[in-house]
Amino acid sequence: MFTQLERDKNTNARNGIMHLPHGDVLTPAFMPVGTNGAVKALHHKSLKEMGYDLILGNTYHLYLRPGLDVIRNAGSLHDFTTWDKNILTDSGGFQVFSLSEFRKISEEGVKFRSHIDGSYHMFTPENVIEKQEVFRSDILMMLDVCTPPGIGEREAREALDITTRWAKRGTKRWHERIDGYDGKLFAIVQGNFYKELRKRSALELLELDTPGIAIGGLSVGETPAEFHEYLSYTAEFLPLEKPKYVMGIGTPDYILSAVENGIDIFDCVYPTRIARNGTAFTRDGLIMLKNAKHELSLLPLDPECNCPVCKKYTRSYIRHLVKAKEILAPMLVTEHNLYFLANMMEEIRESIKVGNFYLYKQNFLKRYKGL
């Protein structure tokens, strides 16, 4: 277990680079979600201009539509989507959690019904690796069982035991990859909200010596206090030298907590989802453009933001687009929200480089959350 001093030293000194097949990624890094091979309402060119060089694709959704044959025919997910930077693909494990009425978990894997046409499919630890091999993912994830807060310890332990056995099988299949494919496999720590299970999961998975490791099963409905507590506790068992990924976080406060605990990458649909509802990030917290107080506002979304949207458009105009349900509205707010996070990550990396991350975090949250 790392001491607090060691973790503090790591956070303040770290300005690491993650070396991946499609180019290096500066860390810490937020990863926009491109579920179906595209970040909703945003052109790839805009993502690149913001500095993003890693996005997430969803194995479950891409497997069902357009299907492996279509992507294989194109050559890879990079070729199919024309995104020439890095791609991380998840395993479908979260769909095991979120689509519980459509699935059945067994030792072999998870059998589920497609939400598209009701057809039955089977994900196993081995064929999930094979699917991501077809994608030529730069980072690929293990199949795991994610569990909700509030379940009993016995149920949590049984889910963890399956996750660990699946991880061993998936790692074996990853070592058998061919054709020069060099995607980096990440194991996923589970254990629900039981500290002994979290510790056990981390230590067992470290024995597999995968190139990276992820923390799963957080930001799934627990309280913020529980999130911060279990993130910090779990991170203590992860090695400093391996890239670390917390799955499913995308709010500034959660991102700052992850960075404080030595996490390198994180992802979430939150910034793009709230954009489609007319909600924008600002230095002083979220603004909801549907609120009447913005109707006559000639301010940009964030007066301190230098993104193309804030340089050109007013809150009044974008609110009009939101209310009129114009397609341009989610495009503009999405671009702003992802620019906001890209700029925040650049500031975080700089603060780590110069050794004042904790001051940066304190000042950011003081304004953002009014602390």
Say what percent of the chain tops pLDDT 70: 95
Alpha carbons 44 and 203: distance in angstroms, whole number: 38
The amino acid at 93: G
Helix axes 357-368, 4-13, angle to 10 degrees: 80
Residues 320-361: pLDDT tens digits?
999 999 999 999 999 999 999 999 999 999 999 999 999 999
First to last CA, the chain: 32
Do 322 and 260 reside in the same domain of the chain?
A: no
Is 34 labelled as part of a ligand binding site?
no
Query: In b/e form, how buried is each residue of 12-37, taking b as 16+ CB within 10 angstroms?
Result: bebebebebbeeebbbbbbbbbbbeb
Average pLDDT, stretch 57-64? Answer: 96
Least confident of 53-57, 114-118, 266-270: 114-118
Mean pLDDT of all residues in 135-162: 96
- Find out whether 91 is annotated in a ligand binding site: yes
246 and 310 housed in the same domain: no
Residue 175 has pLDDT above 60, yes or no: yes
Question: 217 a known binding residue?
Answer: yes
| Residues 158 and 69 grouped into a single domain | yes
Question: Under a CB-based contact definition with an 8 Å cutoff, are residues 263 and 246 in contact?
Answer: yes
Retrieve residue 123's tokens: 């994900």
The catalytic residue among 53, 138, 264, 267 is: 267
Extract the tokens encoding 152.
């009993």
* CA 206/CA 134 separation, integer angstroms: 26
Does residue 319 share a domain with residue 251? no
Q: Are residues 263 and 325 in the same domain?
A: no
The dihedral over CA atoms of 90, 94, 100, 102, expressed in degrees to the nearest 10, equals -10
> Looking up tokens 């001491």, which residue turns up?
3
Average pLDDT in the 311-316 region? 98
* Residue range 231-266, pLDDT digits in tens: 999 999 999 999 999 999 999 999 999 999 999 999
69, pLDDT greater than 70:
yes
What CATH number does residue 96 fall under?
Answer: 3.20.20.105
> Is it the case that residue 6 has pLDDT exceeding 60?
no
The verdict on whether 267 is a catalytic residue reads yes
Number of domains in the chain: 2
Q: Quote the tokens at residue 159.
A: 């889910």
Cβ 255 vs Cβ 364: under 8 Å = no
Mapped onto helix, strand or coil, the DSSP state of residue 110 is: strand
Produce one character per residue of 124-148: b if its CB has 16 or more CB atoms within 10 Å, e if not: bbbbbbebbbbbbbbbbbbbbbbbb
**Is residue 182 part of an annotated ligand binding site?**
no
- Model confidence at 179, in pLDDT bands (50, 70, 90)? confident
**Is residue 46 located within the same domain as residue 97?**
yes
Pairing relationship of beta strands 120-123 and 139-141 according to DSSP bridges: unpaired
If asked whether residues 212 and 280 sit together in one domain, one would say: no
Q: What pLDDT is recorded for position 97?
A: 67
Share of the chain above pLDDT 90, in %: 90
Where do we find the tokens 């000639």? 298
Same domain, yes or no: 99 and 230: yes
pTM of the model: 0.95
Round to whole Å and give the CA distance between 89 and 353: 29
Q: Of 90, 138, 264, 302, which one is the catalytic site residue?
A: 90
- In sequence order, the β-bridge partners of residue 105 are 110
76 plus 89 within the same structural domain: yes
Is 24 labeled as catalytic in the residue annotation? no
| 144 in a known ligand binding site | yes
Containing domain of residue 226, as a range?
4-268
Check whether residue 117 and residue 180 sit in a common domain. Answer: yes
pLDDT at 178: 84
Domain boundary among 202, 237, 268: 268
* Residue 146 marked as a ligand binder: no
Residue 136 reports pLDDT greater than 50? yes
